[in-house]
Amino acid sequence: MTNQTEANEAERMGAVRRYDILDTPPDGAFDRITAMASRLFDVPISIVSLVDTDRIWFKSHHGLEVEEIDREPGLCASAILHEGPWLVSDAAHDPRTLANPLVAGEFGLRFYAGVPLTTHDGYNLGTLCVIDKEPRQASDDEMDLLADLASVVMDEIELRLAARRTLQLEGELREQAESVARSLQETLLPRELPEIAGLELTARFHVAALDTVGGDFYDVVAKEGGCLAVVGDACGKGSKAAAITGAARWGLRALSLDSEDEPGETLAKLNNVLTQVREAPETYCTMALASIRPRKSGGADVTVALGGHPYCLVLRGDGSVERIGETAGIIGWFSDMSYPDCQTSLASGESLLLFTDGLLEALAPRESTDDSKVQGLLEGAPRTSATAIADTIDSWLGSDALDDDAAFLVVRVL
């Protein structure tokens, strides 16, 4: 037990602040205890007090309208300097209190019985006390009862601190998880897209939940004579999805280095890499991979291969929107799959849109199997720049959190 002296007042105040209870709103639990104490002792007033540096603040005050008094005349300030109960049967004749203004003055206090509210580490925060304006006696049994009630008060105070700490910890953990998710997501997405001569590129990413790493990804790799653009979706969320996303993204970069492979061949190789290194894989990804090669004479040649992924869209100069891509198997589950290439050319001002299923889902009701909504909407959309196209799609997605991540990449021929 800490010795309650004025010398350790600074530490005691540290304890008072730790519980962060001063000036908190009234609380039924404490009010019930003071009401009960007042009835048991048959006295008009009962208080749960907390002794601050220069005042005594009442967490609960039964039978008294005042919320705080100066520390100086307060009897609770004296009571907390003692171990155990502090009893004054007739304050007007007690040398400890007879000169106290609360006793000698208008208030006319005569009876005071207080028990310190002692923390588990021995600091007296304040008291539970009962007060009368008539002198009276208190039996040992009554004082024991008051001490029991004081422990109940202290339990309530400890409980509130524990609850607040849990809440705080929860908040910190959530913040930590979100920050991990964010930084992981950042390593899974390119910081910025490369500049490719003759092309204009814009990518957008909508995250469904902040505290989990989503499965969507995109990347653009600059190549001799153009670029390779990919949009993909790893099955699931969290670390497993992040692992295959990372493997797929870096695998694609490695496979496309100094390689003249068409997208279909690249996907086949990536699929074999991912299935060979993982026995009985537990997750897979889907992707659309496109090579875009601007022509010197204007326009660009495009080749698209799909791995378990929805089609890509071509935004034509006449306002029409075409699908491109031939369905093929998911990536990273079955080995030795093949991925057919589909070719088209884009004229100047035409665009290729690569997107994940999250975009189709966000624009259609969850039960709908109609995936042509994006295509229909795009037919009327402005195409003056890649950014304008992306902004229009963003506006359809809105700012509400989506059920699933959505990523898309616009490649527009200048």
Partner 1 sequence: MPSLTITSQRSHSVVTVCVEGELDLATEGDLVAGVIGELEASALDVVIDLTRVSFIDSSGLRALLLCQRAADERSRPLRLTPGTGAVKRLLAISGVEAVFAYT
**Which positions lie near partner 1, rule CB under 8 A?**
215, 233-237, 280, 282-284, 286, 306-310, 327-330, 333-334, 337, 357, 361, 366-367, 369, 371, 404
CB of residue 140 to partner 1, shortest distance in Å: 58
Give the tokens for residue 225. 């004579």
Toward partner 1, which CB reaches closer, 13 or 209?
Answer: 209
55-67 residues labelled b (16+ CB within 10 A) or e (exposed): bbbbbbbbebeee
Cα gap 69→88, rounded to integer Å: 19
φ and ψ of 176, to 5 deg = -65, -45
Cβ proximity to partner 1, 338 vs 395, nearer residue? 338
Pick between residue 218 and residue 284 the one whose CB is nearest to partner 1.
284
At closest approach, how far in Å is the CB of 181 from partner 1? 15
Q: Which helix (H) or strand (E) holds 71?
A: none
C-beta of residue 97 within 8 angstroms of C-beta of residue 112: yes
Dihedral over Cα of 366, 369, 371, 377: its sign: negative
Output the smallest distance, CB 327 to partner 1, in A. Answer: 5
How far is residue 44's CA from residue 62's CA, in Å, rounded to a whole number?
Answer: 8
In the bound state with partner 1, the residue whose beta carbon lies nearer, of 219 and 404, is: 404
Q: How far is the CB of 322 from partner 1 (least distance, A)?
A: 17
| Shortest separation between residue 180's beta carbon and partner 1, angstroms | 19
Residue with smaller CB distance to partner 1, 211 or 361: 361
Which residues are bridge partners to 306 per DSSP? 288
Nearer to partner 1, 200 or 371 (CB): 371
- Is there a contact between 292 and 226 (Cβ–Cβ < 8 Å)? yes
Number of Cβ within 10 Å of residue 139's Cβ equals 8
**Which residues, at least 6 apart from 203, have a Cβ–Cβ distance to it below 8 Å?**
190, 193, 218, 220, 390, 407, 408, 409, 410
Q: Decide whether 2 or 283 has the Cβ nearer to partner 1.
A: 283
Cα–Cα distance measured from residue 324 to residue 237, given in angstroms and rounded to the nearest whole number? 28
Give the residue carrying structure tokens 């991979």: 289
Whole-Å CA distances, 207 to 22, 219, 400: 41, 16, 10
With respect to partner 1, which residue has the nearer C-beta, 74 or 264?
264
- CB 194 to partner 1: min, Å: 28
Cβ proximity to partner 1, 1 vs 280, nearer residue: 280
In whole angstroms, the minimum distance from the beta carbon of 249 to partner 1 comes to 17
Cβ of residue 393: shortest distance to partner 1, in angstroms? 20
Least distance from partner 1 to the Cβ atom of residue 366, Å: 5
Residue from 118, 138, 151, 3 nearest 50 by CA:
118
Q: How far is the CB of 232 from partner 1 (least distance, A)?
A: 11
Give the residue with the Cβ less far from partner 1, 293 or 309.
Answer: 309
Coil, helix or strand at residue 371: coil
Contact between 22 and 40 (Cβ < 8 Å): no
Rounded least distance, CB 392 to partner 1, Å: 24
Residue with tokens 């190549």: 223
For the chain, the first-to-last Cα distance in angstroms comes to 80
Dig out the tokens for 25 from the structure.
Answer: 């709103």
- For residue 205, the cross-strand partners are 407
The answer to whether the CB of 58 falls within 8 A of the CB of 47 is yes
Q: Closest by alpha carbon to 60, among 31, 89, 84?
A: 31
Identity of the residue, 258 or 367, whose beta carbon is nearer to partner 1 in the bound complex: 367
